[in-house]
Amino acid sequence: MNLILLGPPGAGKGTQAAKIVEKYNIPHISTGDIFRENIKNGTELGKKAKEYMNAGQLVPDELVIEIATDRLTKDDCTDGFVLDGFPRTVFQAEELDKFLSAMGSKIDHVLYLDVNREELMIRITGRRICTNCGASFHLVNIPPKQDGICDVCGAELIQRKDDSEETASNRIEVYNRETKPLVEYYEKAGNLSHIDGTLGLENEFNAIVGILGE
């Protein structure tokens, strides 16, 4: 089961990916998480990606394609995977198709989570992330029990740099320009399913299970 979660920043791709992982037992591959991990560890890749990420710009295709395809060759991907945040450009999608087809494989489903801009801004700017375990909260929608503290592990919650108002707005613009054309790309390929990303977590997940099957 080779899946892509497609949608604007703040649509809830990461949240649905976690639920998919739990139910279908396939790895969650987030290029954003891979970059953040590299920034945290001070690697060369992290240094290269940081500037782009903090500005809400896309990291150059060559870098992203290399880390994504490298990750896809790992053993845990043989029964499938859920890609979150990759591909983000038509070029990345074409390269992914070529890579998979060379391995005798393909993308089975593209789940497109759609949310309007106003709602996205509220979601992104209110998001708070645990500095230790990565759990995600929201000041209004999923408030932690104690202000600024992670419910899961007790560490401090912070706002991601790229979740600030200005950067969030930039990311949505970049999404509309660079990534939204993928909707048409996968519609043409015939494997895209639309999911209303404002239905609430459980309803959205039920819709996904309806598409993927039990």
What residues make contact with ligand AMP under the rule CB under 6 A? 9, 30-32, 35, 52-53, 56-59, 64, 85-88, 92, 162, 171
Annotation says 123 is catalytic: no
Nearer to ligand AMP, 163 or 204 (CB): 163
Q: Are 32 and 179 in contact (CB under 8 A)?
A: no
Annotation says 23 is catalytic: no
Least distance in angstroms from the C-beta of 89 to ligand AMP = 7
Q: Burial of 10 by CB count in 10 Å (0-12 exposed, 13-18 middle, 19+ buried)?
A: buried
Least distance in angstroms from the C-beta of 13 to ligand AMP = 7
Q: Are 16 and 205 in contact (CB under 8 A)?
A: yes
Least distance in angstroms from the C-beta of 177 to ligand AMP = 13
Whether the CA torsion 67, 130, 14, 87 is positive or negative: it is negative
Q: How many CB atoms lie within 10 A of CB 66?
A: 12
Q: How many CB atoms lie within 10 A of CB 106?
A: 12
Which one of the listed residues 23, 127, 177, 180 is annotated catalytic?
127
Annotation says 88 is catalytic: yes
Nearer to ligand AMP, 64 or 208 (CB): 64
Nearer to ligand AMP, 93 or 150 (CB): 93
Q: Is 69 helix (H, G, I), strand (E, B) or coil?
A: helix
- Point out the residue whose Cβ comes nearest to ligand AMP: 32
Nearer to ligand AMP, 86 or 137 (CB): 86
Which residue blocks in the chain are alpha helix, DSSP H?
Answer: 13-24, 31-40, 44-54, 61-72, 90-102, 117-125, 165-174, 181-189, 201-212
Could you tell me the two tokens for 183? 């909707």
Least distance in angstroms from the C-beta of 175 to ligand AMP = 9
Which one of the listed residues 13, 36, 123, 128 is annotated catalytic?
13
Which one of the listed residues 36, 88, 123, 128 is annotated catalytic?
88
Residues carrying an active site annotation:
13, 88, 127, 160, 171
